[in-house]
Structure 1
Amino acid sequence: MNKIIWITAALFINSIIVFGQENTSEKPKLVVGIVVDQMRFDQLYKYEDKFSEGGFKRILKEGFNYKNAHYNHIPTVTASGHASVYTGTTPSVHGIIGNSWFDRKLNREVSNVEDSTVVIVGSQQENTRGRSPKKLMTPTISDQLRMRTNFASKVISVSLKDRGAILPGGHTANGSYWHDFQSSPGYFVSSSYYMDHLPQWVSDFNRQKKQDEYLNTNWNTLYPLETYTESGEDDSTFERTLRGKEKPVFPYNFKEIRKEYRKLKVEYQLIWVSPYGNTLVTDFAMEAVKNEKMGDDKITDMLNISYSVPDVVGHTFGLESVELQDVYLRLDRDIEKLLSFLDEEVGKGEYTLFLTADHAAIPVASYLYKHKLPTGIARINNYKDSLEKYLNTKYGENPWIQHFDGEHLYLNRELISAGKLQMEDLQKEIAAFLTDQEGVNMVVTTSDLRSQEYRKGSKEMVQNGYHPKRSGDLILVFDPGFIQSSNPELKINEVKGTTHGSGYAYDTHVPLLWFGAGIPKGESVRKVSVTDISPSLAMLLNLQLPSGSNGTPLPEILR
């Protein structure tokens, strides 16, 4: 009897929060995946009063809002986040354990998308810094779509960052394009992994020199500065200052500022710290839809867009800055423009869209300190120096540590084996030593990660982010509010700009919105994971799940 009552109550609750458009059997002509780099869930509401009616608000009003969506692994960084969204699994399976990691065989750090067997295509100067998805160990939902349609579906990905374009596109994308400021005047480029040369429409887009047009603008606030009451003071000690400026304040005359960055040969990277970087990506995405004829027939295509500017602006100015607020207000208008374009080009109700983030972020540590909130600095070099001294004193002068950067500690396995030390015992001893250091919450050994199965808390998140062939021998978890720094002299009140990477809610809690064909209106506060996105798309499109997928389809949007 109680079971019947419970089921009836659950159905009643669902009938309240899910209403309107019903799911249809017709598959969408186009799936659009949007990842906003470093977007926190609360930013949907923090700036809501100043959003237009046709951007974020339209998605919220007409779509489905998961208000309690999180990452379920550590670390929370760009590459890992994008990979998890599109594979439906965690770094323990897809292998992207960070933006970079230490390679024991090469004895150096490697990037998540570096590939020496390919070259950049479309750069003005020769660029042999090859990029590809080869380090991604599982297929993505975009790969499943391509295979299901015998590769008739088109998959295009675009971002300012290479990883923001490459990882969502998976292994079989028709094209992944990103912004090249190192060997081009801000061109969108690709890789010989995908193609021998750029499509004509991409070359034509680059020749328009929109990046120059945007970098010759004067960035001022969209609304009068005094109305930005949701943010802190414009002139703030929590913010970094761009070269060519005396203070981090509006306006930003990019035409003058770029002269300073030209001397460093990185002037086109300035678009990454400008709201017009998002506009440039939106322009390119719309050109891709038109020229690749995406959504033109009944074979579903997929467009992946990653907006990188919020992340760069967050790192530069912080979460309370007027600069970041203005970036979101202008991104809102870019999304409004994109939705209107898709309504016209593909057809209203003919495309399905999801929007999420690759991670969130912590408020600036100096801001937390000023307001007497828990914070601190995890001083990695101090940990390393102290540990080396301890090991040398006890076991003799030797390079016991092969690599120690951030949360991963790689031990010298050959030396330990030659010294006939027991790896498991040594790991436990080091874990106990490091746990006593200021700012270290816990240290998890790989011996425990391999022999235990954790089902809750930080250890479960560490295990989800651990890959035996790529991770360190010990993984550190820092105290809440603590940020990493290799600078032993940095004072907490001198920290500028935000960061991310932890398993705490300020880094894991992200937006998850669904909109368009087959998506009902509503919202849910049920805790869900970003790894649920790909399996939900698989069910929506009647696809086989990506091979590594361990997320759960979201029933609220599949009614």
Structure 2
Amino acid sequence: MTHTRRRLFGLALASLALSACTTAPPAAAPQAPKLLVLVVIDGLPMRQVTGYRDQLAPDGFARFLDRGRWFADAHYGHGHTVTAAGHAVMLSGAYPQRSGIISNEWRDPATGAPVYNTGDADYQYIDSPTAPLSGTSPRNLKVETLGDVLRTRSPQSKVIGISGKDRGAILPAGHKGTAYMYMTETGRFASSTYYMQRHPQWVTDFNAAKPADAFFKKTWTPLLPEAAYAHSVPDGQSWQIASGNGNRLPAVIGDKMDGPGPRYYSNLLATPFGDELTLAFARAAVTNEKLGQRGVQDILSVSLSSHDYINHAFGPESRLSHDHLLQLDRHLQAFFQFLDSQVGAGNYVMALTADHGFTDTPEWAATQGRDAGRFASSPSLAVVNAALSAKFGVDKLARDFSAAGLLLNDTLAAERGLKLADVQAAARDALLKLPGVAAVFTREQLLGSDTTTPYLAAMRKSFDPARAAQLQIVLKPNWIFSYRPGGSTHGSPYTYDTHVPLLFWGPGYVGQGEVKAHVEVADLAPTLAAIAGLPAPAQSQGRDLKLRP
């Protein structure tokens, strides 16, 4: 499809949507917004927002792009760009080097035991099973969030985090907020005993209605005619994961299943219906908790997880990802108009961002002439240990890969009389010989002050010396850490993983227009703090972007 024809599709859709809904003019802005709303689209690179701009609805993403303030060059400053690390930065302004949330999971440097970013065995999910390493509290988060600042000053204020993932709800909610997350075993939303002993009645009622079951056997059908997806990679590619709901549209959710169950509830997240369900729960929270409607300031964080699952399975270049973004856009439009009605369009400020971008699927990138590939952890670990054994005569000096690094067994090395620096150097040399490895940084480099070596500063921001592995790895562009033969991921310091949306809307608070200057997502927390009349979180490394019109 030509650009002109694609533009006509977008204009036609915009005309239909505008005729179907009207938005009342916003009231005059009060001194401070009654509600701060953070919308997170998990795994959304900025290139997808701008790339499909002519196909957007008039009041979803376009609310920010056409009538809000948005930053065209917003990036994460840390190098290991994963879900937990990004969600920890957003409302704290603190990079992993301060927040301690270095990854989704890592290994304890002293013991090698697995650690989950929001895992806390002292607490359990309410009315839902709690597996080992489940995310139940913010204990591992070392810093305060904007919600913590607000509730310290105003204990009657409410801070609520909602997400399809535990980390997407818990980390933005901070230590003093309340988190609700989707349970893939039951299709319910649940909090944990860190926050309360039993759910409010509205949560019980929401779950009792079994809203997730309403999507059973529902079909995910492309939103636009086939020609509108001409620049996206077609369905059914060999590298697209076919488990779950398959890798072609239309797709029947729950196909060949007798009824809703754990597999169906899990598969639901990798569809537009996962976002629809999460936003339904967010509406219930706004209505029943009266967020922004009680004479005090509140914060709502809603992290939508489906785009990340879809990009992992099919790649951001796929038609499935393209269509999902358009479906999500329509769901956002309805949610924003709900907020206008429930809270008042002049009474809240909204920010939209993502926790990371996404790498194109390596197999697809290779067809475009790029050097791309998959770095497999298990065989790579074996190669490194073989090299260390040959040099030092000691087996298994490398424990495992941990977050973005290789964790060495310092205790074993010391017991055998080896110098730790020598083991690090040998392991680094072995890693650099592996296909796809661009750079390996030692603990000494990460704790140093060198600002000229490429990617070292970014990896330093991901490095908490108490939690991170001694050696931090950067793969070559278009290479990914991978545990399966298909799909894609993220986690690098490259632009495709760091460049995300940073969009604001709020009449009277944030102004309008595109800003081309380079900014960082760490700037979000101090910027929202200034709008709300609050001090920035204590460990914030960002700056106020001064959005007031």
TM-score normalised to the size of structure 1?
0.89
> How do 1:354-503 residues align onto structure 2 when only pairs under 5 Å count?
354-405=351-402, 407-454=404-451, 457-486=454-483, 495-503=485-493
SS for the counterpart of 2:62 is helix
The aligned amino acid for 1:314 is: N
Q: Does 1:532 align with 2:520?
A: no
Question: Partner of 2:235: helix, strand, or coil?
Answer: coil
Alpha-carbon contact 2:40-2:303 (below 8 Å) kept: yes
- Larger CA deviation: 309-318 vs 320-329: 320-329
CA distance in 2, matches of 1:34, 1:406: 26
User: What residue is the counterpart of 1:209 in the other structure?
Assistant: 210
Equivalent AA in structure 1 for residue 448 of structure 2: S
- Per-residue CA deviations over 1:471-509 (Å, capped at 9, x if unaligned) read 00111111111112356xxxxxxx532210000001000
| Equivalent AA in structure 2 for residue 169 of structure 1 | A
1:400-435 CA-partner distances (Å, limit 9, x unpaired): 112235631111111222233322233233323322
Answer with 375-384 or 204-213: which moved more.
375-384
Equivalent position SS for 1:58: helix
Kindly tell me: are residues 486 and 233 of structure 1, through their superposed partners in 2, closer, same or farther at Cα, counting changes over 3 Å? closer
Show CA shifts across 1:18-62 (max 9, x none).
xxx9x9671001000011001010111222222111111122111
Q: What do you get for the CA RMSD once the two structures are aligned?
A: 2.2
Local SS of the residue matching 2:357:
coil
After superposition, the Cα gap between the structure-2 partners of 1:117 and 1:318, relative to the gap in structure 1 and judged at 3 Å, is same
Shift of 1:258: 4.2
CA distance in 2, matches of 1:244, 1:484: 24
Alignment of 1:126-525 (within 5 A): 129=134, 131-149=136-154, 151-173=155-177, 175-182=178-185, 184=186, 186-243=187-244, 248-259=247-258, 262=261, 265-405=262-402, 407-454=404-451, 457-486=454-483, 495-517=485-507, 518-525=509-516
How far has the Cα of 1:132 moved from its partner? 0.6
Residue 544 (structure 1) aligned to one of 509, 514, 535: 535
Q: Secondary structure at the match of 1:256?
A: coil
Aligned partners of 2:161 and 2:172 also within 8 Å: yes
User: For residues 76 and 130 of structure 2, what CA distance do their matches in structure 1 show?
Assistant: 38
Distance 1:286 1:455 in 2: 48
Partner of 2:23: none
Q: Deviations over 1:304-345 (max 9, x none)?
A: 000100000111111122221221111111111111111111
Hey, what's the Cα distance between the residues in 2 that align with 1:541 and 1:56? 23
Q: Report the CA distance shift for 1:527/1:119 in structure 2 as closer, same or farther (over 3 A).
A: same
Contact 1:259/1:267 (<8 A) preserved: no
**Deviation of 1:261 (Å):** 8.6
Q: For the structure 1 residues 132 and 525, does the alpha-carbon distance in structure 2 shift closer, same or farther, using more than 3 Å as the test?
A: same
Hey, what's the Cα distance between the residues in 2 that align with 1:100 and 1:326? Answer: 30
- Counterpart for residue 31 of structure 2: 26
Query: C-alpha distance in 1, partners of 2:379/2:304?
Result: 35
Q: Could you report, residue by residue, the CA deviation over 1:121-159 in whole angstroms, capped at 9, with x for unpaired residues?
A: 132x5767461110101011111111121x111111111
Q: Distance in 1 between matches of 2:469 and 2:404?
A: 8
- Listed as ranges, the gaps of 5+ residues in structure 2 are 1-25
Distance of aligned partners of 1:261 and 1:210 in 2 relative to their CA distance in 1, 3 Å threshold:
closer
Deviation of 1:452 after TM superposition, in Å, equals 3.0
Q: Which moved more, 1:302-311 or 1:402-411?
A: 402-411
Question: Aligned with 1:304: secondary structure?
Answer: strand
Residue 121 (structure 2) pairs with residue 116 (structure 1)? yes
Q: Partner of 1:352: helix, strand, or coil? A: strand
* Paired AA for residue 500 in structure 1: H
Q: Is contact 1:416–1:423 with CA below 8 Å preserved after alignment?
A: yes
2:56 is aligned to 51
Question: Which whole-Å CA distance do the structure 2 matches of 1:171 and 1:118 have between them?
Answer: 14
In the alignment, structure 1 segments of 5+ residues that lack a partner are 1-20, 488-494
The number of residues matched between the two structures is 522
Counterparts of 2:284 and 2:356 in 1: how far apart (Å)?
Answer: 28
Q: Secondary structure at the match of 1:385?
A: helix
Evaluate the alpha carbon distance shift between residue 302 and residue 427 of structure 1 in structure 2; reply closer, same or farther with a 3 A threshold. Answer: same
Paired residues of 1:120 and 1:127 also in contact (CA < 8 A): no
Asked whether the equivalents of residues 245 and 252 of structure 2 are also in contact (C-alpha less than 8 Å), the reply is: no
Distance 1:500 1:320 in 2: 14
Mapped partners of 2:446, 2:517: distance in 1: 28
How many angstroms apart in 2 are the aligned matches of 1:411 and 1:258?
Answer: 45
Q: Distance in 2 between matches of 1:352 and 1:176?
A: 20
Q: Do the aligned residues in 2 keep the contact of 1:380 with 1:405 (CA within 8 Å)? A: no
Q: Give, in whole Å, the separation in 2 of the partners of 1:406 and 1:94.
A: 15
Q: Report percent identity of matched pairs.
A: 34
Matched AA of 2:535: Q
How far, CA to CA, are the matches of 2:229 and 2:278 in structure 1?
A: 26
> How far apart are residue 228 of structure 1 and its match?
2.3
SS at match of 2:396: coil
Asked whether the equivalents of residues 520 and 542 of structure 2 are also in contact (C-alpha less than 8 Å), the reply is: yes
Q: Which moved more, 1:31-40 or 1:48-57?
A: 48-57
Aligned mates of 1:96, 1:479 — CA distance in 2? 24
Q: Classify the secondary structure of the residue corresponding to 1:510.
A: coil
Match of 2:102 among 97, 100, 104: 97
Deviations 1:360-401 (A, max 9, x none): 001111001111122122233333222212221221133311
Q: Is the 8 A contact 1:318 1:496 kept in 2?
A: no
Q: Which range is displaced more, 39-48 or 98-107? A: 98-107
Take 1:364 and 1:486, find their aligned partners in 2: how far apart are those partners?
13
Change (3 A) 1:189 1:44: same
